[in-house]
Amino acid sequence: MSQKSLALRSEVPTEKTWNLESIFATPEHWEETYQSVQAQLPEIEKYQGKFSENAQSLLKGLETFEQVFIPGMQVYVYAGLAASVDVGDQEAAARFGQGRGLLAKMRAATAFVEPEIMAIGFEALKKWIEEEPRLAIYEHYFDQLRKRGAHVRPPEVEEVIAMVGDPLPPKMVLAAYSSLTNADLKFEPAISSDGEKLEVGQSSIGSLITHEDREVRRTAWENYADSYLDFKNTLASIQTQVIQRDVFNMRARRYDSSLQASLQPFSIPEEVFHNLIDVFKKNLPTWHRYWRIRRQALGYEKFHVYDIKAPIMETKPTVPYEQAVEWICEGMAPLGDEYVDVMRAGCTTNRWVDRALNKGKRQGAFSWGAYGTQPFIMMSYADDIFSLSTLAHELGHSMHSHYSRHAQPFVYSQYSLFVAEVASNFNQAMTRDYLFKTLDDPTFQLALIEEAMSNYHRYFFIMPTLARWELEMHYRVEKGEPVSAKSMSDLTAELFKEGYADEVEFDHDRIGITWAQFGHMYMDFYVYQYATGISGANALAEGVLSGKEGAAEKYIDFLKAGSSQYPLETLKTAGVDMTSPEPVEKAFAVLASYVDRFEELVS
C-alpha cells in the first residue's frame, strides 16, 4: 500500500516561498534589531509624566513611540512568519517566542501613553494642535481616545492590564494552539477506494475533503476530526483561558459585556452583530435547500458533512498558480493599472506568496506584515479553483495593507478587522464575476459555482454559526457558569444541527468538535466579520461592476483610509451602510442566486 507524503520545508523551491529577506537579510540582522529595540525601550519610559507638559513634548513622545514600535513590529512579524511555515523549526519557534516577549515589553513600556494623553483633556489637545500643526495627524487618534475615555484606566491599572497580557497575549495563545494543532496532532492517513494512503495534514486537508473519491473524503474528514477529539480537553482548556481573558478585559475596562468590549472601541454598534445573526437564522432554509440539491446531484441516498465539498464532476479544472494570478489580475482590471501592476509583481517577482505544500506548515491561509514591509501571504496552493479563490482572498488583504501603509502614517496604517474582510471578499467577488462572464464552458461554470458555494459555506454558514457559539460561551463565562470540552461540543452540535436540519447526516462528536478547528476562535469576536465582510464586499463590487461613476475610485480610497476613520464611516464613504441589515440580506440574495444557478446546471 503506497502513501503520498508532504515535502520537507528544506525541499521547497525558493520561488514558492515568500521573501522574508526583504525584512531582515539574515537571522543575525534580525537579532541585531531585536537587541536594538530592547535597548530603546527606556527611551519611551523617559517620557512618562512628560506627555502633558506641552505640545512639543507630546509630539516628541509620540514620535519616539513610533521609532521603537515600527522596527519592533518588524521583528515580531519576521519571527512569526518564519515559524508559521514550519512549526518543527525550533530556531524559528525560539525567535517567535522572543518576538512575543518583546511585543509584551513594548506594550508594558507604553502603557502610560494613552492615560496621560487623556489626562491632558481634549479641549486642551485641540489648542495644542493649533499651536503645533504637526500634531494634526493625531486628531482622529485623539478622538478615538475620547470615545474610549470611560474604559481607559489610570496608568497603574493600565500597566497591570498590559502585564497580564504578557503571559496570555492573544498571539501567544494562538501560538500555543498552533503548536498543538500543527505540530503535535498526528492524523491517520486518508484511505482511497483502492487502498492508497494519502497523508492528512493542515496543508492537505483542504484538497482531501474536495477529493473525487468519497472514501478519501470520508476518511480524511473523520481522521482529521478524531485527532482534535483526542485533544479535546487540552483544546478546551486553551479556549477557556481565552474566553476568561476576554471577560477579564471586559471587567477591567468596565464594559457591560465581552461583545461590547470588542465592538465599542471601533464605534461598531452591537446591532451590527445581532442584525447579522438574525438575518442568518432567517435564511437558513436557503442552506437546507442547497444540501438537498447537492445530495440529489451527487446521487447519494444519504448526505454527509464530508460530501459538502464533493466535486459534482468526475474531473475538476486544473488551475496552475501562474494562471490563477493572470485571471485574478484580469478580474481586478476595473480598479486600474496601478492596482493590477502592484498585485501582479507581488505574486511573482516580489514573492509576497508562500504557496508551497510542505510538512509542518500551519493550517489555513493569511496575509500579514508590518509598517515598512511588503505584504506576506501564507497558503497551500493546490492547483485548483479553490486555491485560486483563496489566493484572490488573501491578495485582497495584501492590497489593502499595501495601500493603507503607503497612504497613512504609522498611527493609522493598521485597519480594523471589521473592514479587513471586505477587501478580501471584494477580490473574490470581482474575480468570480470575471470568470463567470468569460469562461462559458458549463463544466467550468459548475466548478465556479461549487467554489462560490464552498466560500459561502465557510464564511456565510460556518463562521456565523461559530459567532453564535462564541457569543453564548462568553455569556456563560460572564455569568460564572462552568464550561468544558463537553459543553463546548454540545453547543456546537446543537447550532450546526439547526443549520443542517434533516438534510445532512449528523455525527454529533465530529461535528461538535468544529469549535476547536479554527484559530480564529482565539481572536475575540472575529469570525462574524467574515459574514459582514462578504456583505460589504458584494455591495461595493456591485457598484464597480455596474460602472457606477466614481465607484472604483471610492474603493481605492477605502483601501487607503486605513484606520484614519471609524470602520462604519469608511464603508459608508465607499458606498455601503453596514448599520442596516440590507447588505446582509442582499448577500443572501446572491447566495440564493448561486443555488438557483447550481440547480439549473446540475439538472
Residue by residue, DSSP assigns 450-497 as HHHHHHHHIIIIIHHHHHHHHHHHHHHHHTT----HHHHHHHHHHHHH
pLDDT at 266: 85
- DSSP H helices, 180-320, are 205-208, 214-230, 232-252, 258-263, 270-282, 284-298
- pLDDT tens profile 35-58: 999 999 998 888 898 988 999 999
Q: If you average pLDDT over residues 195-216, what whole number do you get?
A: 90
Q: Whose CA is closest to 243, among 530, 480, 584, 440? A: 480
Secondary structure class of 190 (helix, strand, coil): strand
**What cell numbers appear for 139 in the block?**
486628531
Residue 1 has pLDDT above 50, yes or no: no
Amino acid in the structure at residue 514: T
Q: What is the phi/psi pair of residue 497, to 5°?
A: -60, -40
Closest CA to 272 of 570, 586, 567: 567
- pLDDT for residue 172: 65
pLDDT recorded at residue 168: 53
Residue 183 DSSP label: I
**CATH code, residues 3-167:** 1.20.140.70
Q: For 421-443, what is the mean pLDDT?
A: 94
For residues 354 and 87, which has the higher predicted lDDT (pLDDT)? Answer: 354
Residue 201 vs residue 163, higher pLDDT: 201
Q: Span 8-23, mean pLDDT?
A: 94
Average pLDDT score over residue span 514-530: 90
Let me know if 338 is exposed, middle or buried by CB neighbors in 10 A (0-12, 13-18, 19+).
exposed
Give the three-class secondary structure for 360: coil
Is the predicted pLDDT of residue 577 greater than 90, yes or no?
Answer: yes
**Cα 304 to chain center, whole Å?**
27
pLDDT at residue 43 in the model: 87
How large is the greatest C-alpha to C-alpha distance in the chain, in angstroms? 78
As given in the structure block, the three cell numbers for residue 342 are 502592484
Residue 175 pLDDT greater than 80, yes or no = no
Which ranges of 16-54 would DSSP assign to H, the alpha helix? 27-45
pLDDT tens digits along 267-285: 899 999 999 999 999 999 9
Full-model pTM? 0.84
Q: Which amino acid is at 196?
A: E
SS3 123: helix
Task: Give me the mean pLDDT over the 178-186 stretch.
Answer: 82
Would you state the cell numbers that stand for residue 81, as one nine-digit string? 512568519
CA distance linking residue 105 with residue 44, whole number of Å: 11
* 3 state SS of 577: coil
Say which of 116, 158, 222, 394 is annotated catalytic. 394
In the predicted model, what is the mean pLDDT of residues 391-403? 98
Instruction: Write the DSSP symbol of residue 335.
Output: G
Give the per-residue pLDDT at 164.
Answer: 63
Looking at the chain, the whole-number percentage of residues with pLDDT higher than 70 is 97
What SS3 state is found at 239? helix
With 0-12 CB in 10 A as exposed, 13-18 as middle and 19+ as buried, what is 22?
middle
CA distances from residue 309 to 49, 205, 208, 214, 414 in whole angstroms, order as listed: 59, 12, 10, 11, 34
Residues 592 and 293 sit within 8 Å (Cβ to Cβ) = no
Query: Looking at residue 182, what is its pLDDT?
Result: 78
Tens of pLDDT, residues 531-569? 999 999 999 999 999 999 999 999 999 999 999 999 999
Give pLDDT, residue 4: 60
pLDDT at position 7 over 60: yes
364 band by pLDDT with thresholds 50, 70 and 90: confident
Residue 100: is its pLDDT beyond 70?
yes
Burial of 193 (0-12, 13-18, 19+ CB in 10 A): exposed
Q: Which band of pLDDT confidence, cut at 50, 70 and 90, is reported for residue 169? A: low
- Domain parsing of the chain, residue ranges: 3-167, 178-185+231-319+418-603
In one letter, which amino acid is 133?
Answer: P
- Return left, alpha or beta for 372; rule: phi > 0 is left, psi -120 to 50 is alpha, else beta: left
Angle between helix 270-282 and helix 582-602 axes, rounded to 10 deg: 30
Residue 70 one-letter amino acid: I
Mean pLDDT of 588-595: 94
SS3 154: coil
DSSP, res 302: S
Q: What is the pLDDT of residues 293-330, one digit of tens each?
A: 999 999 999 999 999 999 888 777 899 999 999 999 99
The mean per-residue pLDDT over the stretch 136-156 comes to 84
Record the cell numbers describing residue 587, joined without a space. Answer: 448577500
Coil/strand/helix, residue 197? strand
Residue 362 has pLDDT above 90, yes or no: no
The mean per-residue pLDDT over the stretch 153-176 comes to: 65
Vertex 511: Cα angle to 507 and 517 (nearest 5) = 150
What's the pLDDT score for residue 302?
A: 97
161 has pLDDT over 80: no
The H or E element that residue 499 is part of is helix 485-500
Q: Is 270 a catalytic residue?
A: no
Nearest to 312 by CA among 447, 435, 451, 445: 447
Nine cell digits for residue 202: 493542515
pLDDT at position 2 is: 45
Alpha carbon 80 to chain centroid, angstroms: 15
Which CATH code of 3.40.50.10440, 3.90.1150.10, 1.10.1370.20, 3.40.920.10 fits the domain covering 178-185+231-319+418-603? 1.10.1370.20
Query: Residue holding cell 439547526?
Result: 498
How confident is the model over 487-515, as a mean pLDDT? 97
Statement: residue 3 has pLDDT above 60: no
Query: Quick one: cell of 169?
Result: 497575549
Burial class (CB in 10 A: 0-12, 13-18, 19+), 78: buried
How many CB atoms within 10 Å of residue 375?
24
Name the pLDDT band for 170 (thresholds 50, 70, 90).
low
For residue 88, the model assigns a pLDDT of 85
